[in-house]
Amino acid sequence: MQFTIKKLIYKKHQHIKLLFNNMLLDLLRYYNKNVNSIVNKYIFKRNGLPKSILLFIILFIFQFCNTNKDEVLARVEDKYFYKSDIKLEVDSFETDKDSILKVRNFIDSWARKNLLYKKALVNLSDYKVEELENLINNYRYDLYGTVYKETLLNKMIDTLTLEKRINSFYKDNYKIFRLNESLFKIRFIQFPIDNVDKNDIIKSFIRYNKFDKFYLDSLSYQFTNKILTDSLWVTKKRLI
């Protein structure tokens, strides 16, 4: 009984493995037909490369890794296309048929793009490659600069729009901002008339520069009353 069970399991595994191999062969035939017909026409014939190496260069499909590694679906030399890339690049699928078509089309495009890039690096002159790299770098800086300026401009527009809305609201509702009594912004000090530093205190109070502020603050213990923060608004009642 145990032998029978093991044998059945082994046959089941063989069947699954056979299905998987058939699926791989179908996919490889698909790529040999579609990718090779385009890329080989313009690249491989001109360079005298045999068609038989196309699959070896282009794809390493459905390679199973352990559960901690991402699954490789395709490969072009040292470039890998992973299963997780599908989620990043392909929109949601409506049906199973739609999903297969989208994935195949995307991998087709990915393979062609990377093959053309690799062949360009090999066949273009060093001067041309350097020229293209300079253009790419310049475009990179221009693109970042343009997007950043657009971001700043949008922020400025938002700020201006907010200011316009505030001003418009004030004009339409100015009555609710009307004060019931007048407000005053003042600065004053009160000290005994016989203070020995009276003249210096008055000069500093009138001039009131950076050094005067420091000086008056150092003598504040001599003042019986003071308001030196001129950003403070007070009512008339408080002044009286």
Contacts of 239 (CB under 8 A, 6+ apart): 184, 186
* pLDDT at residue 19, as a whole number: 52
Domain boundaries, the chain: 70-123, 126-177, 183-238
Q: Is the per-residue pLDDT at 22 higher than 80?
A: no
22 φ, ψ to 5°? Answer: -65, -40
Q: What is the mean pLDDT of residues 50-67?
A: 46
Lowest average pLDDT, out of 49-63, 124-138, 156-170, 198-212, goes to: 49-63
H-only helix segments in 40-95: 45-47, 54-58, 83-89
**Residue 206's beta-bridge partner residues?**
none
Q: Are 230 and 216 in contact (CB under 8 A)?
A: no
CA nearest neighbour of 76 among 108, 37, 105, 103: 108
The answer, yes or no, to whether residue 12 has pLDDT greater than 50, is: no
* Cα 80 to Cα 72: distance, rounded to the nearest angstrom: 7
Residue 97 pLDDT class (50, 70, 90 cuts): low
79's enclosing H/E stretch is strand 79-82
Region of poorest pLDDT, from 135-139, 199-203, 223-227: 223-227
Residues with Cβ within 8 Å of 233's Cβ and at least 6 positions away in sequence, in order, are 183, 184, 185
The whole-model pTM stands at 0.36
Task: Quote the pLDDT of residue 93.
Answer: 56
User: Which pLDDT value is given to residue 182?
Assistant: 79
pLDDT number for residue 109: 84
Other Cβ atoms within 10 Å of 139 Cβ, number: 10
Average model confidence (pLDDT) for the chain?
72
User: What stretches of 40-125 show up as alpha helix (H) in DSSP?
Assistant: 45-47, 54-58, 83-89, 96-123
pLDDT, residue 203, reads 92
Q: What percent of the chain has pLDDT over 90?
A: 3
Examine the pLDDT at 2 and tell me if it is beyond 50: no
| Per-residue pLDDT, 25 | 56
Total residues belonging to the chain: 240
Quick check: 10 pLDDT over 70? no
Would you say residue 190 has pLDDT above 60?
A: yes
